[in-house]
Amino acid sequence: MADKEERQSAIQKVVEIGNAKTQSDLCSSLEALGFSVDQSTLSRDLSELGVRKSGGRYVMPEADPQDEAMQIDYSSAVKKFTACGPHMIVVSTGVGQAAPIAVAIDNRGEPALAGTIAGDDIIFIATKNRRAQAVILRRLKQWFGDKYEQ
């Protein structure tokens, strides 16, 4: 996992410089930094990082002011999360914490997310497909710590 995190960090740096117009440009820049990346891995990393093309070049997602306002740390309120089938994740929270956490998850604007339903202490997260479920599980680990239970 450290290799992936290092590679994605390098991708962010290359994209922020602003010279990458094609995936070939990105691969070349990454290779110069010591990362050998194939096109499918690069595409997956770009999707996970939220990198998009704008004005003919790759750009990082813009900071959302609403997201900055939602910088509440909910990691202690999330007890665990687990995948259920290919399109659902169940998140267990403290009593009364599910709704605000579900709103925070929805406000992230993750393209892999189909939606959330919150009860009092449980959140159901629907994903678009199995791959999207894997992306959301990684995001949950980033946001709330490694509380994944298989």
In this predicted structure, the answer to whether residue 49 has a pLDDT above a threshold of 90 is no
Q: What is the DSSP letter of 11?
A: H
Please state at what angle helix 130-144 crosses helix 39-49, rounded to 10 degrees.
Answer: 50
Q: What is the model's pTM?
A: 0.55
In this predicted structure, the answer to whether residue 62 has a pLDDT above a threshold of 80 is no
Mean pLDDT of 97-118: 90
In 10 A of CB 43, how many CB atoms? 13
Give SS3 for 30.
helix
Mean pLDDT of 144-148: 87
pLDDT band at 69; cut points 50, 70, 90: very low
In this predicted structure, the answer to whether residue 67 has a pLDDT above a threshold of 90 is no
In this predicted structure, the answer to whether residue 148 has a pLDDT above a threshold of 90 is no
